[in-house]
Amino acid sequence: MTDDKVYSNLKFRLIILLALLLMFYIIFSNITFASYKSNSIGNKNIQVASFNYKIESDKMNNLNINLEDTILPNNYSNDKVIPGTKGLINLKLDFNETDVGVKYKIMFNLDKLPSNLKLYKDSNYKEELNYIEDEVNLDKLNTKQEINIYWKWLFTDDDESLYQNKDIELIINSEVKQNI
C-alpha cells in the first residue's frame, strides 16, 4: 500500500474514533441537553353577547306592508290606494335583546310599486326616502325606536290601470350588524 492510502485509511479511522468518543461522552456524561415543552388543555366558558332585534309595525306581516292599511285621511279614498292617496307607516325597532351597539340599514323594494308612489322622511312630503340608516349605541338599546315613513301616490298622466284591484305592498329588507 502506498503512503497516501495508509494515511487516508488512518485518517478515516481516527474520525470514526473521535465521533464514537464524542457520542460516548454525550450519552454518559453529566451534561444534559434538554428542551422543555409543556402542553396544557383548559376549558373556559365565554359569555357571548346576544344579538337579536325586531322590526315591528301594527300593519306588517313578514316585512311586507299592505299600503291600504296605512292610508291617512285624504280627499280621494280612505280605504283604497289610488293616485292622490297618502299614508303613514310606523316602524318600531326593538333592540332590547341585543347586548352590543348596532348599525342598521332598512331598505325598501320599490319594484312592485307604481313609479310615482314615493316614500318620504317628512309629513310635508318634501324629502324623498330610499333607505334608512342609523346607529344605536349601548345607552339606547333598551328603548324602542320609532320611525315614521310617509308615502304619497302622485297624480300623473301615466296609465296605472295595471295596479287596479291589486294589493300594493311595500317590501322591507333590513341589514343589522354590530357597531364597531
**Does domain 54-178 fall into CATH 2.40.50?**
no
**Structure pTM?**
0.66
Q: Which three cell numbers stand for residue 79?
A: 280605504
In the chain, domain spans:
54-178
According to the model, what pLDDT value does residue 59 have?
46
According to the model, what pLDDT value does residue 137 have?
83
Q: Which three cell numbers stand for residue 52?
A: 337579536
DSSP 8-state assignment for residue 123: T
Nearest to residue 112, comparing CAs of 161, 160, 168? Answer: 168
Radius of gyration of the chain (CA): 39
pLDDT digits (tens, 9 = 90+) for 108-144: 888 888 888 999 999 999 999 999 998 888 777 777 8
Least confident of 7-16, 46-55, 66-75, 119-128: 46-55
According to the model, what pLDDT value does residue 36 have?
60
**pLDDT classification of 159: cutoffs 50, 70, 90:** confident
* More confident call, 160 vs 130: 130
Nearest to residue 58, comparing CAs of 166, 167, 144, 165? Answer: 144
pLDDT digits (tens, 9 = 90+) for 85-100: 999 998 888 887 778 8
Q: Average pLDDT in the 29-41 region?
A: 59
Burial class (CB in 10 A: 0-12, 13-18, 19+), 6: exposed
